[in-house]
A and B are shown apart, each in its own frame.
Chain A
Amino acid sequence: EIELTQSPATLSLSPGETATLSCRASQSVGGYLAWYQQKPGQAPRLVIYDASKRATGVPPRFGGSGSGTDFTLTISYLEPEDFAVYYCQQRYDWPPITFGQGTRLEIK
């Protein structure tokens, strides 16, 4: 089973700043990694897939990068609606499909 470790657990930033979230896999997942955004009381929403492709309707301030075992989600010029929990997920070797434990992006 591929384990995904996200860091930091919580990230406190102000609107307008840039957020950098990390996801590390226990073994290579190639480029088969996605990021999901979850706001309180809502279902997760796909933000990035195939490590760097933005999902439909996702603004260009969201960017994904990485391959192999190390991945980054970068959110530039944070807007108030960007503060949420972000999960990474791998699709390289499954079952099981696995998720990271999440990074909470909170307003400073």
Chain B
Amino acid sequence: QITLKESGPTLVKPMETLTLTCNFSGFSLATGGVGVGWIRQSPGKALEWLALIYWDNDKRYSPSLKSRLTITKDTSKNQVVLTMTYMEPVDTGTYYCVRDSLASNWYYNWFDPWGQGTLVTVS
């Protein structure tokens, strides 16, 4: 069974840096073609993709947030960490960790499954 679980602060102040951790089980980031990513959802709003990291340490970021995001992995710990700098109230929302897999070519992977999400409030 594949599970992912997000952890981190529930409240951050404006201008602070947010650090979120995703701990996962049931798969390995050492497996070719597999990635782990982050997606967020503002209250009552749609989904916004943030970042992805792959088995070979390739990293991809949302162009609109690239300057503020850093994604890293610790394969031995089954852990992925996302940092977002200069947090603002508009960054308030639920942050989801996802496995990126299912395709023979990683570029066309899909998000499955998702973690339960962690609510982050910026105030």
Contact = CB atoms under 8 A, between A and B. Distances in A.
A, B in one complex: yes
Nearest to B37: A97
Contacts, number: 58
Question: By CB atoms of chain B within 10 A, which of A45, A94, A96, A101 has the most?
Answer: A96
Question: By CB atoms of chain B within 10 A, which of A32, A43, A98, A100 has the most?
Answer: A43
Contact of A99 (B47, B63, B107, B117): B47
Interface residues of B, number: 23
Q: Is the interface of A mostly helix, strand, loop or mixed?
A: loop
Given A44-B111, A45-B113, A94-B60, 16 more contacts: A34-B111, A36-B111, A43-B116, A43-B117, A46-B111, A49-B102, A50-B103, A91-B108, A95-B60, A96-B62, A96-B63, A97-B49, A99-B46, A99-B47, A100-B46, A101-B46
